[in-house]
Every structure is written in C-alpha cells, then in structure tokens.
Amino acid sequence: LYMGGMGSEDTNFHAEVYRRMGYGDVVDEVTALFRSGRKDEAAAIIPDAVVDDAAIVGDTDYVRSKVREWEAAGVTTMLVSAGSVEQIEQVAEVVGNA
C-alpha cells in the first residue's frame, strides 16, 4: 500500500523514499500491479532486501546490532510494534543498551 497505492498518480512520498533507497524499478512494478487491482501480486514481488532496509525484525542480538547501525546512519526516531508487554520490555532493554 505505501509503496504502490498511497498518494496520487504523480505524488507518493512513501514511494519516493524507496526510490531514494535504490528500489525505483520495484516501486514502478508494485505501483502498476497495485493500481490495477492486483494487490497480492504487488506484495509478492517486493524483495526481502526492501523489508530488511526498512524494518528491523529479528532476535534480540540482531535487533541490537541493527539499532546501532541505524543510529550511526543518523536515524533518530523509530516506530515500534509489539504484541505483548514482554516484547515492549525487550525493546526497551535493546534500545537502552544499544
């Protein structure tokens, strides 16, 4: 949705972020599929690398190392999703000790 369906035909700020990340060809394909109603196909062609470049998902050690990398690259704000209080506590520990 963010890559291929947000905004107007001419302006999709989310897609532009992915273009700047080097995924312009993927954005074009996803947008064409999404806007033609083939949303499942659009989602299926997104490479794992896009997800890895845009989200941190993994065990505690992996998350800790990626948070350090993102901080070193200048990231100052991260959105966190958790499914339980325990996960929130784990994220707090990782971020506090990154």
pLDDT at 9 over 60: yes
Residue found by looking up tokens 């890895």 in the block: 52
pLDDT at 6 over 60: yes
CB 7 within 8 A of CB 13: yes
Judge residue 42's burial from the number of C-beta atoms within 10 Å of its C-beta, 0-12 exposed, 13-18 middle, 19 or more buried.
buried
Distance, CA of 69 to CA of 58 (rounded, Å): 14
Residue that wins the pLDDT comparison between 87 and 41: 41
20-57 tens-digit pLDDT: 999 999 999 999 999 999 999 999 999 999 999 889 98
Give the pTM: 0.72
Confidence of residue 98 (pLDDT cuts 50, 70, 90): low
